[in-house]
Chains A and B, each alone.
Chain A
Amino acid sequence: METQESSSKELKLSTNIKDNMNYINSMFNNCPDIIRKKVIIADSKEGYFIYPKALINIDVLQRDFIKPILAMSLEELYDDDLVNKLSLSEAGYRYELNTIVSEITDGNIVFIFDGSNKAISYNLRTFESRPITEPVVEKNNRGPHEGFVETLDINISILRRKIKNHRLKFRNMKVGAASNNQVAIGYIEGIANPKLIDDLYEKIISIDTDGLISLGPLEQLMKDNQYSPFPLYIATERPDKVMAGLFEGQLVILLDGSPVVLLAPVSFFAFFQALDDYTSNWLFGTFSRIMRLVAGVIAVFLPAIYIMITSYHYYVVPLNLLIPLAESRAKVPFPPIVEALLMEFTIEMIRESAVRLPTYIGGSVGIVGGLVIGQAAVQAQLVSSLFVIIVAVTAIASYLIPSHDMGTALRVIRFVLMILAAGFGICGVTFFISLLFAHLVKMESLGQPYFQPMVPTKLKELKDTIIRVPTIFLKQRPDIAKPLDRIRGKNK
């Protein structure tokens, strides 16, 4: 196996067109979308244009590539500088057969001709792409309404449009043995830490898989912490968020075929930040941030506290709530944990179904779920009315979290906590808090502690985590990405 691979690596183009075409035809048999156009060039020699039909612009191909080639004489074709004499924007010579094959699948046009051991490869990739719209899951009030699309080149162009700086660099690599997906790491040179870039590059290069259907598998295959429910990188579709991240020295991972990109390294608190915090004034930003963190706590702890109180620690209930709660619980035939799991599963099912349903039904599912099921459940005395409120508040609180990954993580651990609270009461909740805290401080996003700036405590960073101080005080870049240049702006 190995000898065959090395021999194909060194398989150079021969000057005989028939040998070359035999190889190419054997590689591309049963690929009707790869066109092999035969042309007769000067001196009745044969040449072939090989290209994938739907990936290129046929007009430009015929006009600017095929026509001039057909008009050239043989000396002109054998000229070493031929590539530079053609009106092609991005072309080069290739000498190996397998390079030609991979470039054709990439979307290039390759021209080989009899008598030459060179092939001209021309990048004319043009394909249909989704127009640039606002991402559905990340909306905001006052920022731009642009989002990334599936094509890597267009995404890079969006970033280039926003950051008009030569120091915006991209490092390309291919991942996937069968699919050869293009992955790019974007960073701003001079701010981003080269060591982090190298670490990330090593991580991605070492991925061994067939192909990446989306960014999710890429994130999970980076082997940072596979058993944790918490996301280690922020997945976003918004270019403005990427721009802000790049200015702080973070790295962006773009995958060809995915409108979602990853930002690394990030801290736990970054998942609770949204763009609106920065576009509005600092008081509202602080207020929203605190509200989100509180919502995160509520989303995890509230049902479990209910279960804990009604199963073990009845004496914690305030006096005025004592009898109404007992009245509403007395009508329910199930113990608290069963009631809780029942309602929570129903809500999760409504949530999942809202994602799967076609859009025109999706809206009404919310109404159906909320009104009918909640109200009917109470009237049928399957759940207590207090618990319906708790479930509703929990659901709303979990929607407040800007990052979808973090939201799902919190949903999962909420169930674990409910079961622990039902089994062990306050002991279970304590166990959970200890374990969760130990887990969060143990995790590292690209080598940087996950739970900073709380632990390890970095007092200067706290001004942009739970609160958002006025922009005047945000002159320094945060420490998480270990940027080389700590101060924003030009006037140092």
Chain B
Amino acid sequence: MKKIISLILLVMFSTTSAGCWDQKIYEKIGFDLQVGIEPTSDGALLITRSMPVIGKGALSDMDIIKIKGGLLRETRDKARLRSPKSAEGGKVQQILISRSLAEKGIHELLEVFEREFINPVLAYVVIVDGSPYELIETSHKFIDKPIPPFYINELLRNGIKGGAVPECRIFNYDINYFDPGIDPMLPIIKISGDGKEIEIAGSALFSQDKMVGKVTTAETSLLRLMSNRLKKGSTVFYLEGDGEKIKKGAAVSYQLKSHQLKVSTDNNKPVVTIKFSLNCILEEYKWGSIENPEEKERYEKLFSKELKDRCNKVLKYTQEVNSDPLGIGDIVRAKENSYWKSVDWSKAYKDVQFNIEPTIRIVRSGVIK
């Protein structure tokens, strides 16, 4: 009985007092929606935090604070010395890391997001070609786009759905980093050439922690397709004889129908066979593209060959830069464990022989032939 009374008193005091220990009153919080990280010339980190401005009387809708410091948490505390709202990181949507920093290694930068419960591990990690601070500053002045956090969110979300952007949340990165047989892949964004939009400029290939290479968005969707992480997308095939035409290329949308990845060793070198088949729908080419079944098969063969060439090209590039985004190393570890234990995968990856066997089936060609 006494316990109940004391508890009631406790509760009454706590609710009527100014703040009950851990209260974080909603409107007094400055939600950091974006965090940008770049190096300064003297070896410290320059952190940019952007939060929306709440309340009337404000002319701008984003509050962008730029602080120098050694740790993210340190800069959060410094930001609280400047901003009227108490900066909180619970709603961070993206972490923008400059390319120069990415080449040095980003794993430790993301550690605070895993460690603290309130911070989300669902934030996107994005590499910026240039300075994140300038990107945020410039994009926040765009008059025909939503505020940068929402804008970049939508770009990334649509990109992930369409295939151009790899899955790049913090936990995706961390899981891939920790696994010795797979390397992470993160998107790259930059301000477009005419300075009016933010553009997804491709993806960054990592070797464990450091950025080592760059692929285009089309190549990103190929990599995702080959690792069975993309279910549908669209692409353009360039065919011979297109050179003099006004419109070049045939656009198809595809759906991944089946996928098979086999790993074996041959002469102490791993051989990877990737077989996948796509159901394609012809979306734009020319009038009278597919008149009869033989035409269809001809195009299917042409498309397959072009797809295969593209896949081989991008895989060769990954071998050059020593980044394994498909996770071949992981599969080798699982299936050919004794071989895995006998080699150093970072050196053995470039010896992998890839056999790509795509099959394309043109299922439909639309309303006209």
Contact = CB atoms under 8 A, between A and B. Distances in A.
Are chains A and B touching in the complex at the 8 Å CB cutoff? yes
Contacts of A310: 25-27
Contacts, number: 70
A311 B90 contact: no
Interface string B11-25: 100110000101111
B29 interface: yes
- Chain A CB count within 10 A is highest, among B11, B15, B29, B52, for B15
A329 B28 CA distance: 9
B14 A423 contact: yes
Binding site secondary structure of chain A: helix
Contacts of A259: none
A24 to B, nearest CB: 53
Contact of A329 (B24, B26, B56, B150): B26
| A: interface residue count bin | 20 to 34
Contact of B54 (A309, A327, A332): A327
A446 to B, nearest CB: 28
Residue of B14, B23, B120, B150 with most chain A CB atoms under a 10 A cut-off: B23
B120 A315 contact: yes
Given A312-B23, A420-B11, A327 B55 contact: yes
Interface string A298-335: 00000000000111101101010011011101111001
B26 to A, nearest CB: 4
A311 B55 CA distance: 18
Interface in A108-147: none
B15 A337 contact: yes
B25 A326 contact: no
A227 to B, nearest CB: 11
Interface in B1-46: 10-11, 14-15, 20, 22-27, 29, 31
B118 interface: yes
Given A314-B90, A420-B11, A423-B11, A335 B52 contact: no
A425 B14 CA distance: 12
Contacts of B153: 319
B22 A323 contact: no
Interface in A268-311: 309-311
B333 interface: no
A326 B26 CA distance: 7
B50 interface: no
B91 interface: yes
Interface centre among A323, A326, A422 (most CB of B within 10 A): A326
B91 A319 contact: yes
A132 B26 CA distance: 55
- 3 pairs of A and B residues whose beta carbons are closest in the complex: A315-B90, A310-B26, A329-B27
Interface of B: 10-11, 14-15, 20, 22-27, 29, 31, 52, 54-56, 88, 90-91, 93, 118, 120, 150, 153
